Amino acid sequence: HPLTISANMLSMITMASATRRPSMATPRFSRATIRQLDYLRQRLYSHPTYGMLSLREKHVPIPVPVLTAMVHDADPLLRELAAHHPSTPPKLFWILAHDSKETVRYALARRTTPPFDLLIKDRLVGIRYLLVQHPNIPLPLLQSLVRDPSRTVATWAKCRVSTTPLSWLIRKAEQLH
């Protein structure tokens, strides 16, 4: 039985989202974008676990202005959803990669093609660990993780560098020339 959101609770959520994170300049959004954002928020909070999974797994089409509003929102669940969504434009990755909530950065690291260069220096070992295991991590970044302060990440990187198929190395070398 899904939870219903009272008007009071919805206004509290909306007020929380209106409180922007002060470290970033937030763009202005149209009323239509705000309405779509509020609809997503209501859907998400009607049942937090199922709402998040359904929005994630079904890859509900979300317009870029709404994704941009989600990235700038104070609600970490909306930012996490934006980090995971396949339509989020790469120009927003920098904001997401520097988010104060680790769940947002984890969602970004779990993308099919994460922004390796932005997350490679993340302070959380778990994020660097996800990157070192990613099959598409560029070889230079993988080699830089060999000197990672985390023993686990460094060990994985050493194993991956030493077992990188020769055909892959040749292909990468040809791409550079």
Task: Tell whether pTM > 0.85.
Answer: no
Q: Is 59 helix (H, G, I), strand (E, B) or coil?
A: coil
**Which tens digit of pLDDT belongs to each residue from 73-109?**
999 988 998 998 888 999 999 999 999 999 999 999 9
Contact indicator for 143, 123 with CB cutoff of 8 Å: no
* DSSP 8-state secondary structure symbol assigned to residue 3: P
Alpha-helical runs (H) found in 19-145:
31-46, 48-57, 64-72, 76-84, 93-97, 102-109, 116-119, 125-133, 139-144
Q: In whole angstroms, what is the distance from residue 82 CA to residue 89 CA?
A: 10
pLDDT higher at 144 or 41: 144
